[in-house]
Amino acid sequence: MTYLLFAIGLVALLVGGEFLVRGASGLARRMNLSPMVIGLTVVGFGTSAPELLVSVQAALAGQPALAIGNVLGSNIANILLILGTSAAIAALVIPLRSVWRDLGIMVLATAMVWVMLLDGTISRFDGMVLIFGLIGFLASAFLLGEPELPDESALPSSLMLAIVMTLGGLVALVIGARLLVDSASEIARTFGVSEAVIGLTVVAVGTSLPELATSVIAALRRQTDIAVGNVIGSNIFNVLAILGITALIAPIPADPRFATVDMVWVAGTTVLLVAMAFALRGVPRWAGFALLATYALYVGLTAL
């Protein structure tokens, strides 16, 4: 039964990702917004729903380390694993002219959380600061985003259908991710893998599976704006919204290792993405394989 649930979760991810990409492209066309804006907001935020659920549940259950570790681990996985996999399939173009502002917000949000972690707690006041930052990001994305209409072939025929496909895709992604995380954790336990390793790898990657499915399908469909925007938007949402909402519910005490070890990886991968955007104007296939190799190194070091 566990292996069957794993298979069902995988199918739900693939189907949900396909519906989400098609629906999001349709939304961009019907609402006169660019695919990048949709990727940064609707897709990026929607695919971060598992991280939000896990972090809020962890905060309410008195497991703050899981709440913070889930967000930091997911942000690392988003850049190294998800962009790496997507680029290995098809080279990604980063439209610097339209995304430089969002890259800056991602860097600023990362720096803010690093500073907040230095005193050992993300307080309710810190949570309020993060939420205000989220509001500013949303306003800039919608007010300053420039329309760039996608090819209408294979897009939903109406705005209502686009909304239904987008929401249906998000629901399928969240359900699929939940099934995969639970079944993969159970399978890992049967092979004697420790809870710590499961939390740092299976849970972090599992909650990032919607982003992975969405970005991979977008790359296969050569809709790289959605693939890149999904990762940038998800990383911003993870920091500003998920940690912000979680801290408002309950202040989050932070283990010192988050500031001294994990944030180094988060900041390093963030700077790496910005460097590729400016120097390479995207993520070529060779860089995708390099990102995947780096993620394998990160998982190996974490498991030690």
- The predicted-structure confidence for 201-243, as pLDDT tens digits, reads as follows 666 677 677 777 777 877 887 777 777 877 888 899 889 988 9
Q: How confident is the model at residue 38 (pLDDT cuts 50, 70, 90)?
A: low
Residue 22 has pLDDT above 50, yes or no: yes
DSSP state for residue 121 in the 8-state scheme: E
Of 66, 40, 61, the residue nearest 225 (C-alpha) = 40
**Is 43 in contact with 27 (CB distance < 8 Å)?**
no
pTM of the shown model: 0.76
**How many whole angstroms separate alpha carbon 304 and alpha carbon 301?**
5
**Stronger pLDDT, 283 or 55, i.e. the higher one:** 283
Q: Quote the pLDDT of residue 153.
A: 47
Beta bridge partners of 122: 252
Identify the burial level of 297 via C-beta atoms within 10 angstroms of its C-beta, where 0-12 means exposed, 13-18 middle and 19 or more buried. exposed
Residue 198's CB: how many other CB atoms inside 10 A?
Answer: 18
Give the chain's mean pLDDT: 79
